[in-house]
Amino acid sequence: MDFNRLFEVLEYQQYRYPQQVAMAGRSDNRWQTWTTEAILLERDRLSAGLLHCGLHEGDKVGILAHCGSPQWVIADAALLQVGMVPVPIHATARPDEIRHITQDAGLRACFVSNAAMLAKLDAAEVQLPLLFSFQDQLPEAETGGTVATSLKPWAELCCDPDEHLSGRIRYLREGIRPDHLATILYTSGTTGLPKGVMLTHGNIISNIKSVLAIVPVGPGTTVVSFLPMSHIFERMVTYAYQAAGAPVWFAESVEWLPKILPEVRPHFMTAVPRVLERMYERLQEERGKGGALRRKILDWAMALGERYPYSGGASLPFDYYIKRLLADVLVFRQWRKRMGGRIRYIAVGAAALQPRLGRLFSAAGIEVREGYGLTETSPVIAFNRFEPGGVHFGTVGIPAPGVEVRISMEQDEEGNGEIEVRGPNVMSGYLHLPEETASRFTPDGWFRTGDVGRFEHKRFLKVTGRKSEIFKTTSGKFVAPAFVEQQLLRSPFISQCMVTGANRPFVGVLIVPEFAILENWCRENKVHWTAPQFMILNPKVEKLIRQEIEAINEVRLGTIEKVRQFQLLYEPWTPENGLLTPTLKMRREVIAQQYAGEIEKMYK
């Protein structure tokens, strides 16, 4: 048996690798597990319920959930097998974005995961004919508002299909082809309202099969999923887990990881760079609580890990190998134990990973591999491999099987040009935007990603910036802000930064310090610590950050790229305060507008 349509992936698992624990989710602070067979039965019961409610093939149905869950997977499969189109909505979406998605996609119904998501629909003043809950019922005290009146709980929605409904499900399934529309995902644009990306069954299936060929997961691999399923990265990977027969344990949020990892003891997980950064910060926080000897040992082990020379090819130098063994006994082993003791692989996407963190985790025995992709490409374009010779830290890896990548003819002196992609994973277009769709393809049919990059070491793709973000200073020279930001983030004292300088005489940068690490530094250097909003004004802190910037200027940045001025900020940028997109990309225009005064100070 093979699979060519998304709802067949679970059937493929049942045929090849039937699992007693195929998926697990938390309910009432306890784990609820599902067998593969039980998931398939519930999928069919839900499909029957959706048809019984009066929904039809082609109807668009939203999914607004605070986290991934077995219910998310079941709802997705139930919709897909009867030709309905799931439209995920990010839990962090603003009310105006939720309204836009509802109207643009023409939603006829929507699933919500809990009362908080129901409240989001109410705040967006969205009125839908049908509204469903992942929960069997919501507490009455939490279901206030106008949208709650039409809410149908999961237990009430599902029904055993009679002969008529079973026949309709079979009929609808048989009519679905791989080139039919499977889902619409709204890109979390850094400006303006999001666009609806239309992906077919074939688009996503091609990417699933590409990933299965290069990721070490199988029936004996336990995985934890905590990234939102509204992102195509986690959704596609979850399909791949199903196809590989890997049990999936869903965490409600990244905040639950310290508790869940020791419970589940996973072998593999996906993450965004911020998760690895947070793990690193926790190590630094622990460092501040230890004695002088413990701090020295931890500093030595971390510095050793960040110099990890292995790229998957030749063996480690002998002296480094011995030092790494010692670091493993003293530090890394305890680190892995806190993560369950079995974690071996982490796949990272959505944003650029600091190479030093990739090296550090890999030196600690947790192989970290960075990839690259877009919603429009289902999503994986390139990925660093886990096999020997397949990784180069600082790049996003080798093009995925079946995906062609080229650099446009218009290139700078270093060979950077727009990254263009061709393959079965590329979207069918943007919903209701034919002109926008046409503009994203070259005359010979390649998709323009909008990202700038080059190939290094012959076959490894390096992303150096976003074409629309490259600016020119008053000297007439171009600067790629993403590249400069990547270099600045090498400093452990810098958590977030945004480069400025368009039509200005030099490059400046807004910086949010890494306050956990900064606090340790202050303690060790006898600098009185107060609150972040006061510490950014401390002359000794400003001097430290300037020294960090000057060191990076000297070694890693060209003459035009060097940072001349900076401003420290105390409030982190998050999706909740509107300064990051739901996929954790900076909203540059919003940040620039909010901190216009601070930017002007740099150029006076």
Q: For residues 199 and 299, state if they share a domain.
A: no
pLDDT of 156 over the 50 cut: yes
Task: Give pLDDT, residue 299.
Answer: 87
Work out the pLDDT band at 138, boundaries 50, 70, 90: low
pLDDT of 137 over the 80 cut: no
Q: Is 566 among the domain residues?
A: yes
Q: What would the mean pLDDT of 438-447 be, rounded to a whole number?
A: 96
Q: What would the mean pLDDT of 267-285 be, rounded to a whole number?
A: 84
Identify each DSSP E strand in 301-432 by its residue range. 345-348, 367-373, 380-383, 398-399, 404-411, 417-422, 429-430
| Phi, psi of 174, deg, nearest 5 | -65, -25
Q: Is 358 among the domain residues?
A: yes
pLDDT of 70 over the 60 cut: yes
| Phi, psi of 251, deg, nearest 5 | -100, 145
Contacts (Cβ under 8 Å, ≥6 apart) of 293: none
pLDDT in tens, 539-549: 999 999 999 99
Structure-model confidence comparison of residues 195 and 472, the more confident one? 195
Share of the chain above pLDDT 90, in %: 68
Hey, how many other C-beta atoms are within 10 angstroms of the C-beta on 459? 14
Task: Give pLDDT, residue 136.
Answer: 83
Last residue of a domain, which of 269, 301, 318? 269
Q: For residues 188 and 264, state if they share a domain.
A: yes
Q: Is the peptide bond before 379 cis (omega within 30 degrees of 0)?
A: yes
Domain boundaries, position 527: 470-602
Last residue of a domain, which of 415, 445, 468? 468
Q: Is 425 among the domain residues?
A: yes
Last residue of a domain, which of 435, 468, 501? 468
Number of domains, the chain: 3
Task: Give pLDDT, residue 310.
Answer: 66
Q: Is 3 among the domain residues?
A: no
Structure-model confidence comparison of residues 91 and 188, the more confident one? 91
Q: For residues 213 and 352, state if they share a domain.
A: no
Work out the pLDDT band at 529, boundaries 50, 70, 90: very high
Q: For residues 241 and 283, state if they share a domain.
A: no
Q: For residues 377 and 433, state if they share a domain.
A: yes
Q: What is the Cα–Cα distance from 83 to 460, expressed in whole angstroms?
A: 39
pLDDT in tens, 564-587: 999 999 999 988 888 988 777 888
Q: For residues 254 and 361, state if they share a domain.
A: no
Q: What CATH code is carried by the domain that includes residue 335?
A: 3.40.50.12780
Please provide the size of the chain in residues: 604
Closest CA to 225 of 68, 21, 35: 68
Q: What would the mean pLDDT of 321-325 be, rounded to a whole number?
A: 91
Q: For residues 265 and 388, state if they share a domain.
A: no
What 310-317 contacts at long range (C-beta under 8 Å, 24+ apart), as own/partner pairs, is 310/362, 310/363, 311/389, 311/391, 311/392, 311/393, 312/385, 312/386, 312/387, 312/388, 312/389, 312/390, 312/391, 313/388, 313/389
Q: What would the mean pLDDT of 106-133 be, rounded to a whole number?
A: 93
Structure-model confidence comparison of residues 285 and 23, the more confident one? 23
Q: For residues 23 and 111, state if they share a domain.
A: yes
Q: For residues 314 and 348, state if they share a domain.
A: yes
Structure-model confidence comparison of residues 115 and 350, the more confident one? 115
Closest CA to 523 of 513, 535, 511: 535
User: Of the given ranges (154-158, 386-390, 560-564), which has the lowest mean pLDDT?
Assistant: 386-390
Q: What CATH code is carried by the domain that includes residue 598?
A: 3.30.300.30
pLDDT of 34 over the 60 cut: yes
Q: Is 2 among the domain residues?
A: no
The SS3 call for residue 453 is: strand
Task: Give pLDDT, residue 141.
Answer: 39
Q: Is 150 among the domain residues?
A: yes
Work out the pLDDT band at 191, boundaries 50, 70, 90: low
Task: Give pLDDT, residue 457.
Answer: 87
| Mean model confidence pLDDT for the chain | 90
pLDDT of 558 over the 80 cut: yes
Q: Residue 369: exposed, middle, or buried by beta-carbon count in 10 A (0-12, 13-18, 19+)? A: buried
Q: What is the Cα–Cα distance from 515 to 571, expressed in whole angstroms?
A: 10
Q: For residues 217 and 284, state if they share a domain.
A: no
Task: Give pLDDT, residue 39.
Answer: 98
Half-sphere exposure of 541 (CA within 13 A, CB side): 31
CB-CB contact of 80 with 199 (8 Å): no
Q: For residues 370 and 500, state if they share a domain.
A: no
The SS3 call for residue 306 is: helix
Work out the pLDDT band at 314, boundaries 50, 70, 90: low
Q: Is 133 among the domain residues?
A: yes
- The strand pair at 563-568 and 507-513 is best described as parallel
Q: Is 208 among the domain residues?
A: yes
Q: For residues 242 and 296, state if they share a domain.
A: no
